Amino acid sequence: MKKIIFSIILVLTLLLAVTFYGYGQKEGEVSVVKIGGVYPLTGPYAPMGIGDKQAILLAVDEINANGGIKSLGGAKIEVIFADSEGDPKVAMTAAERLISKDDVVAMLGSILSGTTATIAPVCEKYKTPLVNEGSTSITLTQHGWKYFFRSTPHDGLYCEAMFNFLEEVAKKSGEKIKTIGIMYENTLFGKTAGDVWKEKAPEHGFEIVADISYSAASIDLSSEILNLKKASPDIIFLASYTQDAILITKTMQTLNCNANAVVGIDGGQIVPSYIEAIGPLANYVSAEARWSPDIKKPLAQKVNAEYYSKYGQNMDGHNSRAYTAAIVLYNAIEEAGSTDKEKIREALANIYVPPEKIIMTWNGVKFDETGQNILGTPCIIQIQDQKFKTVFPYDIASVDFIFPMPAWSER
């Protein structure tokens, strides 16, 4: 009987010890906060994914070096990356693994709208906040997701900015701009841009004379470029990723397809590897870019210098937003003072990051009820002398926009 009583007392003592130990652990004593990141680190979209990964690591290194998450007693951030390969199904599986097996408290990712569209439902399932840095399809914030937060503006705003830009260019140059040819890759990113261009062009007085979709995995786009050339638009709009952007430009040069301006939306024309691959052929190409190394903002210049020192390249319109997304998520965790996912989600829903704390030209970061940052503003760059130069809005431009661009035969 004594042995039984002793055993009961021992069990109760152990239970009490465990209970009091659990209550005694403060969240401020957390040493590491794990965040997941799903990006295309191999395959055709790897240049963008690797750049984003590098920028996120730069942000995390800076945060950790400056004391970590202070509201959690200086806990360090650890980012666990997974390769989506640019494939929506692979991205979905990777997100599920990071959340269920690696115990991440929040997610970053994933550049491509198509992969983000499969990651976000996984995050909803596991009630895990996702801060998306660069997937711009309008539809992503139309699903009623509660754990999805997009820090970048969406394609609707960016497409609108491209039309506004053309109107200002026409005024300043005195050149008439009437017709536009659009060419876009056929996944969610490109099709969304194409739909918005077709919807908005008449409102701005422009006529779409060529409407061409294609696969970003194509190895020959000659027929598409010939159709574009036949339409002879004043302006060409492109929605492309890196490898297809390179192929398009090379094919345009080979087939002597000209326009007064070629303007991309985000995508492939705003990464250094685009210029590296085709050299002077990239000159005069423009893009709605989100960011440029010559932006007149001290913090942007400082961070870009650190990125260049570490990786030997300037930042671009993709990884600058990845860096910003990491900063936004850090601020939310700092504000939450907790690794509880619901508290982090609540902090994101209510967060305001002022413009002086981010490297973008935006007016800050603040999410609406759909998870969309409502303070983002776009900019236009042009490649001049094989360097990205800001040309619009004019108040932040570092150089004048060269318009019309020289024909291939005149270069």
Residue 175 lies in a domain: yes
Total domains present in the chain = 2
Residue 193 lies in a domain: yes
Quote the pLDDT of residue 401: 97
Quote the pLDDT of residue 290: 81
Same domain, yes or no: 93 and 233: no
Residue 354 lies in a domain: yes
**Euclidean distance between the first and the last CA atom of the chain, given in angstroms as a whole number:** 100
Residue 127 lies in a domain: yes
Q: What's the average model confidence in pLDDT over 378-392? A: 93
CATH at residue 325? 3.40.50.2300
Quote the pLDDT of residue 393: 86
Same domain, yes or no: 43 and 181: no
Same domain, yes or no: 40 and 171: no
Residue 283: pLDDT above 60?
yes
Output the CA torsion sign for 262, 265, 268, 271: positive
CB 373 within 8 A of CB 151: yes
Residue 19 lies in a domain: no
Residue 32: pLDDT above 70?
yes
Same domain, yes or no: 269 and 387: yes
Q: 345: number of CA atoms within 13 Å, CB side?
A: 18
Quote the pLDDT of residue 14: 42
Same domain, yes or no: 192 and 177: yes
pLDDT, tens only, 196-242 = 999 999 999 999 999 999 999 999 999 999 999 999 999 999 999 99
Same domain, yes or no: 93 and 131: yes
Residues with Cβ < 8 Å from 209, sequence gap 6 or more?
A: 179, 180, 181, 231, 232, 233
Q: What's the average model confidence in pLDDT over 291-313? A: 93
Same domain, yes or no: 171 and 274: yes
Band of residue 271 on the pLDDT scale cut at 50, 70, 90? confident
Same domain, yes or no: 217 and 234: yes
Q: What's the average model confidence in pLDDT over 3-12? A: 45
Same domain, yes or no: 130 and 176: no
Residue 76 lies in a domain: yes
Same domain, yes or no: 258 and 406: yes
pLDDT mean across residues, the chain: 92
Q: How far apart are CA 92 and CA 124, in angstroms?
A: 12
Residue 343 lies in a domain: yes
Quote the pLDDT of residue 29: 72
Same domain, yes or no: 163 and 263: yes
- Helix/strand/coil for 48: helix
Q: What's the average model confidence in pLDDT over 67-82? A: 98
Same domain, yes or no: 261 and 390: yes
| CA dist 100 → 67, 128, 336 (Å) | 28, 10, 22
Quote the pLDDT of residue 378: 84
DSSP per residue, 269-281: GGSHHHHHHHGGG
- Helix/strand/coil for 255: coil
Quote the pLDDT of residue 11: 41
Side chain identity at residue 354, one-letter code: P
Quote the pLDDT of residue 63: 98
Q: What's the average model confidence in pLDDT over 250-255? A: 98
Q: How far apart are CA 331 and CA 346, in angstroms?
A: 12
Most confidently predicted of 10-14, 313-317, 340-344: 340-344
Q: 257: number of CA atoms within 13 Å, CB side?
A: 24
Quote the pLDDT of residue 266: 76
Q: Give the long-range contacts of residues 311-315, CB within 8 A, separation 24 or more.
A: 311/54, 313/51, 313/272, 314/272, 314/388, 315/51, 315/55, 315/291, 315/359
Q: Give the long-range contacts of residues 209-213, CB within 8 A, separation 24 or more.
A: 209/179, 209/180, 209/181, 209/233, 210/181, 210/182, 210/183, 211/182, 212/181, 212/182, 212/183, 212/184, 213/183, 213/184, 213/185, 213/186
pLDDT, tens only, 124-162 = 999 999 999 999 888 999 999 999 999 999 888 888 889
Q: Which domain holds residue 266?
A: 156-289+379-410
Residues with Cβ < 8 Å from 344, sequence gap 6 or more?
A: 105, 106, 129, 332, 333, 336, 338
Residue 298: pLDDT above 60?
yes
